[in-house]
Structure 1
Amino acid sequence: MAPRVLVSDKLSETAVQIFRDRGIEVDFEPSLGKDKDKLLEVIGKYDGLAIRSATKVTDKVLEAATNLKVVGRAGIGVDNVDIPAASKKGVIVMNTPFGNSITTAEHAIAMMFAVARQLPEASASTHAGKWEKSRFMGTEVTAKTLGVIGAGNIGGIVCERAVGLKMKVIAFDPFLSEERAAKLGVTKVELDELLQRADFITMHVPLTDKTRNILSRENIAKTKKGVRIINCARGGLVDEEALAEALKSGHVAGAAFDVFESEPATENPLFNLPNVVVTPHLGASTTEAQENVALQVAEQMSDYLLTGAVQNALNMPSVTAEEAAVMGPWIKLAEHLGAFVGQMTDEPVKSINVLYDGVAAGMNLAALDAAALAGFMKATNPEVNMVSAPVVAKERGIQLSKTTQEKSGAFDGYIKLTVETDSRTRTIAGTVFSDGKPRFIQIKGINIDAEVGEHMLYTTNKDVPGIIGLLGSKLGECGVNIANFTLGRTKAGEDAIALLYVDDAIGRDVVSKLNELGKFQQIRPLKFDVN
């Protein structure tokens, strides 16, 4: 019997036809997604559900979807899908993470031109019957310096377009390699240098703890007088109040924003200021982008339903059902190892090597590689998944290699991750115990035995008496409860490490107080997805 798919949101007829051409029965009901009761009534008949943003795939919908195998979201955002519930039900959730890249990059370039030439204000003035030619004196972009914060997929396209406009392009991105920068035709710089040199600044990074308010009040003050700032990435990257003040003072000459800290934005400090261009989150809103993601999701769902091939899945690796039962804990281990090193690394990575020992060497290494990369990349880009991580890593010039070997130690198998930067090499190894739980067994050559927890703290120090008590008592003073405390050292009096599993996230204030002790070379709070 042919698979059956329900399209419950507005997808193009061309996308619907892809299902039909590949022998899949499809019901095109573009308004059904808004009728929760009707959706619950009919969803049990379908193997696949193709959606945009209107359909809400809740736990109730998934419970009623007794035959559902795959949900395909035409677009990147999946806030309308209960992914944990889908995973529990064995339903694959796919999206199309790269379909909007060109459109979003083009919008950023358009916004740059709009603020450079004051186009919206000039248009409104002319529509009003005025002829204020002298009022709207613009600036050329040719030969100006564009500072790009984040040179990944979308940021890289912006760099290429700006180079074509004969701009001088500088980029801040800790994971941008020199080779990738040269290929893009940009100069890699630190953030402070970008702030000081750029005539225009555009941001293309996800919103994380590290990027939130990357243009803070302090950083806005460091910018060149007369700078123009563009944000088509994420709300929350800029201190909007501080920017509004800088615009009013004249330090910042203009701003163009497509995204805001609070959306939908019906009021904002930037609204109604002169030479501020604002749009209602239109970055992905072009006919071509909407068509592209619709076609992609139709192809991906068809591939899975007909051949079992998995692309752009958010909640499962590209492995067979037989492999998944055995590999699940090892995939989680690989992700934890990558996440550890990713959170420890603040500089460009030249290469990553994954060593598979014993039983691990006989598994689906492509899936384990992808899990390790995803864990590593999520430290700076939470939207990365096992499918997109290898693509993002390749774009950033990160070389991934793997090594396999027969069982060589006390464990039936283990995975060891080695990450090389210009200044250092980091290693971490782990295994899966018989209870199915991943464990860290070695960090930078020092043997340990550490359970992986959601919140952890890693410290390094010289092996001297009193460190354990000092660390424990100071954390106690700060109200931090320790669930597990693991220690290791090279030899007496030399390098020592501690890895603590704690109940709650370690705040900056706690790190500051530990630093004040003057005993630790490194203090790093860590977070792991243990679900």
Structure 2
Amino acid sequence: MTKPKVLISDKMDPNAERILKERGCDVDVITGKTPEELKAIIGQYDGLAIRSATKVTKEILDAATNLKVVGRAGIGVDNVDIPHASSKGVVVMNTPFGNSITTAEHAIALLMALARQIPEANDQTQEGKWPKNAFMGVEVTGKTLGLIGAGNIGSIVASRALGLRMKVIAYDPFLTEERAVELGIEKVDLEGLVTRADFITLHTPLTDDTRNILNRERLEKTKKGVRIVNCARGGLIDEAALKDLLDSGHIAGAALDVFAVEPPPADHPLFGTPNFICTPHLGASTSEAQVNVALQVAEQIADYLVSGGVTNALNVPSLSAEEAPKLKPYMGLAEKLGSLVGQLAHGNLTQISIERSGAAAELNGKPIEAAVLSGLMKNYSQSVNMVNAPFLAKERGLDVRSVRHEREGVYHTLLRVTVATSQGDRSVAGTLFGSEAPRLVSIFGIGIEADLDGHMLYIVNEDAPGFIGRIGSLLGEAGINIGTFHLGRREAGGEAVLLLSVDQPIPQDVIDAACKLQGVKMVKALAF
């Protein structure tokens, strides 16, 4: 079996290369390449491990014909075109927890430096001065810290601040009241936070919604004497407004580890402003953090390429390496059911419902849903996979619904896929035999047990004597060998379904001849 190939294109702790090799990957470490140079070699790799230097653009992704996963050692993925990666079926992962403590500690360090004016006091002392009376700091004990963003890093900052005996309030649209109580903080709206906080720290990604979240209007509403720290992303604060309010004294101090443009120009207006502190994006810059993110990204890439585990992915449901083997047969069944209903449904698809019953209801539903869509969308594109299938479905306006039934019916586990088309609903269902073998058990309301594999012929006919002999003779005369033969019917003498597996593709003239047989309503060649 050929080992997956991984390229490490940015400087990274050497343990990343070691872990990838130990887990069954071939690894090349080639750093400092220009975009054109990277474009020339990327096509031979299954995985790409990066930090912030490599830009994974549309052009790079188009040239990466074998690429399956991009792993970012760190949190920010501004340097990856995630929508295009998704359309190409490439998983994009980051390591959101590897540098969380480091970044949170840097925010606390800057908060304390602002409170006691440490950088300016240090500079003057080293200049030979002794400005003991020139600097009057403030205590943080008893002050209110306002967190904008209470996710992983924000929650760590909260715990450190509570240890300093601060009161912590937080604005985060995804923070529940229960989680706030668990953290020991108060959930507030953004307007309430800016008017109450003595210190404000930011811990949110840069999106269209968060860009300039501290704009001039909100900065002017802050409590006089507020101190602001940003170790998250540049662009969250209106830097020009921040400069004006520092000059006026309304804002007592600000500390930025990140800027809207990095590196900032030498004549940046904030440089030299009293009570302003800055560092060159050092939030993740500790030896421990660099080792952690390198180890994590290597483990995540190897898990995906070797065992199918998906961790910290930004464009596909997570699937642990432990879950992957258990889910594999269900995903195989799901993909075949999606493929079957896609090949048989007529008219424009408008909605798809994916129902899980019995043992299937206890599993992670997102990978199963993605597998159904992958099978379905392969009827529209041969390059589809579980990563890009949901995006292709969304592009086509397909409404996807997932339903979970805890009850167990006739089968210990059951998947049912129903599509709504312009000509009505079409539904198929399947189960696993022996917890491994996928088996169709119902097609359009007719009970039928069949394997779904290779080349098959699907026939809808009137249930009448002699039909099986006629179709067998037709295929025999055409030199087509029948592998398996599966029958189902609504009632005696009513509509019947026949599923045949055959050893080779069925020529169109044989299909045309089958359509002319007495009692035949529909004939369709299938492939799995």
Q: CA deviation at 1:227?
A: 1.5
**Which residue of 1 is the match for residue 54 of structure 2?**
55
**Which residue of 1 is the match for residue 176 of structure 2?**
177
Residues 1:361 and 2:356 are matched in the alignment: yes
Distance 2:61 2:207 in 1: 30
Distance 1:37 1:252 in 2: 46
Q: CA deviation at 1:307?
A: 1.0
Distance 1:327-1:142 versus aligned 2 partners, 3 A rule: farther
Distance 1:282-1:317 versus aligned 2 partners, 3 A rule: same
Distance 2:97 2:338 in 1: 28
* 1:113-172 deviation line (CA, Å, top 9, x unaligned): 111111111111122222211112211112222122221221111111100111122222
Distance 1:206 1:151 in 2: 11
Distance 1:249-1:125 versus aligned 2 partners, 3 A rule: same
**Which residue of 2 is the match for residue 200 of structure 1?**
199
Is contact 2:196-2:223 (8 Å) kept?
yes
Q: CA deviation at 1:432?
A: 5.9
Distance 1:236-1:60 versus aligned 2 partners, 3 A rule: closer
The range that moved more, 152-161 or 68-77, is 68-77
Is contact 2:352-2:419 (8 Å) kept?
no
Is contact 2:355-2:404 (8 Å) kept?
no
AA partner of residue 242 (structure 1): A
Q: Secondary structure at the match of 1:50?
A: strand
* 1:274-324 deviation line (CA, Å, top 9, x unaligned): 111112222222222221111111101111121112222233335867546
Q: Secondary structure at the match of 1:6?
A: strand
Q: CA deviation at 1:63?
A: 4.3
**Which residue of 2 is the match for residue 500 of structure 1?**
none
Where does structure 1 differ by over 4 angstroms across 4 or more consecutive aligned residues?
35-38, 318-328, 362-365, 369-372
**Which residue of 1 is the match for residue 259 of structure 2?**
260
Distance 2:48 2:271 in 1: 39
**Which residue of 1 is the match for residue 24 of structure 2?**
23
Distance 2:182 2:49 in 1: 37
AA partner of residue 215 (structure 1): L
Distance 1:89 1:282 in 2: 33
**Which residue of 2 is the match for residue 311 of structure 1?**
311
Distance 1:26 1:221 in 2: 52
Distance 2:59 2:246 in 1: 48
**Which residue of 2 is the match for residue 10 of structure 1?**
11
> Which residues of 2 match residues 175-254 of structure 1 at below 5 A?
175-254=174-253
AA partner of residue 20 (structure 1): K
Distance 1:369-1:142 versus aligned 2 partners, 3 A rule: farther
Is contact 2:146-2:168 (8 Å) kept?
yes
**Which residue of 1 is the match for residue 162 of structure 2?**
163
Distance 2:184 2:280 in 1: 31
Q: Percent identity?
A: 61
Q: Structure 2 unaligned runs (5+)?
A: 320-327, 342-350, 371-386, 388-401, 408-414, 423-528
AA partner of residue 305 (structure 2): L
* 1:57-97 deviation line (CA, Å, top 9, x unaligned): 34444444443332222123333334444334433332223
AA partner of residue 298 (structure 2): A
Is contact 2:147-2:200 (8 Å) kept?
yes
Number of residues of Structure 1 aligned to a counterpart in Structure 2: 360
Distance 2:85 2:170 in 1: 39
Distance 1:186 1:194 in 2: 12
**Which residue of 1 is the match for residue 449 of structure 2?**
none
**Which residue of 1 is the match for residue 126 of structure 2?**
127
Distance 1:148-1:316 versus aligned 2 partners, 3 A rule: closer
**Which residue of 2 is the match for residue 427 of structure 1?**
none
The alignment's TM-score, normalised by the length of structure 2, stands at 0.60
**Which residue of 2 is the match for residue 81 of structure 1?**
80
* 1:403-425 deviation line (CA, Å, top 9, x unaligned): 4389xxxxxx999xxxxxxxxxx
Distance 1:104 1:167 in 2: 19
Distance 1:279 1:327 in 2: 52
AA partner of residue 122 (structure 2): S
Is contact 2:312-2:318 (8 Å) kept?
no
Distance 1:67 1:358 in 2: 32
Is contact 1:198-1:223 (8 Å) kept?
yes
Distance 2:79 2:337 in 1: 31
Distance 1:113-1:262 versus aligned 2 partners, 3 A rule: same
Distance 2:237 2:59 in 1: 38
Residues 1:278 and 2:278 are matched in the alignment: yes
Q: What do you get for the CA RMSD once the two structures are aligned?
A: 3.6
AA partner of residue 5 (structure 1): V
Q: CA deviation at 1:5?
A: 2.1
Q: CA deviation at 1:104?
A: 1.6
**Which residue of 1 is the match for residue 137 of structure 2?**
138
Distance 1:215 1:81 in 2: 26
Q: CA deviation at 1:110?
A: 0.8
Q: CA deviation at 1:208?
A: 3.9
Residues 1:297 and 2:292 are matched in the alignment: no
AA partner of residue 250 (structure 2): H
Is contact 1:151-1:173 (8 Å) kept?
yes
Distance 2:54 2:286 in 1: 21
Which of the two has higher C-alpha Rg? 2
Distance 2:40 2:170 in 1: 52
Is contact 1:317-1:367 (8 Å) kept?
no
Distance 1:173 1:278 in 2: 25
Distance 1:86 1:211 in 2: 23
Is contact 2:352-2:420 (8 Å) kept?
no
Q: Secondary structure at the match of 1:263?
A: coil
Q: CA deviation at 1:367?
A: 4.3
Distance 1:178-1:306 versus aligned 2 partners, 3 A rule: same
Is contact 1:146-1:169 (8 Å) kept?
yes
Is contact 2:354-2:369 (8 Å) kept?
no
Distance 2:145 2:13 in 1: 37
**Which residue of 2 is the match for residue 70 of structure 1?**
69
Distance 2:50 2:230 in 1: 28
**Which residue of 2 is the match for residue 334 of structure 1?**
none
Is contact 1:169-1:186 (8 Å) kept?
yes
Q: CA deviation at 1:327?
A: 6.7
AA partner of residue 102 (structure 2): T
Residues 1:91 and 2:90 are matched in the alignment: yes
Q: CA deviation at 1:229?
A: 1.4
* 1:215-234 deviation line (CA, Å, top 9, x unaligned): 33333333222211112223
**Which residue of 1 is the match for residue 482 of structure 2?**
none
The range that moved more, 262-271 or 251-260, is 262-271
The alignment's TM-score, normalised by the length of structure 1, stands at 0.60
Q: CA deviation at 1:326?
A: 6.7
Q: Secondary structure at the match of 1:290?
A: helix
AA partner of residue 53 (structure 1): S
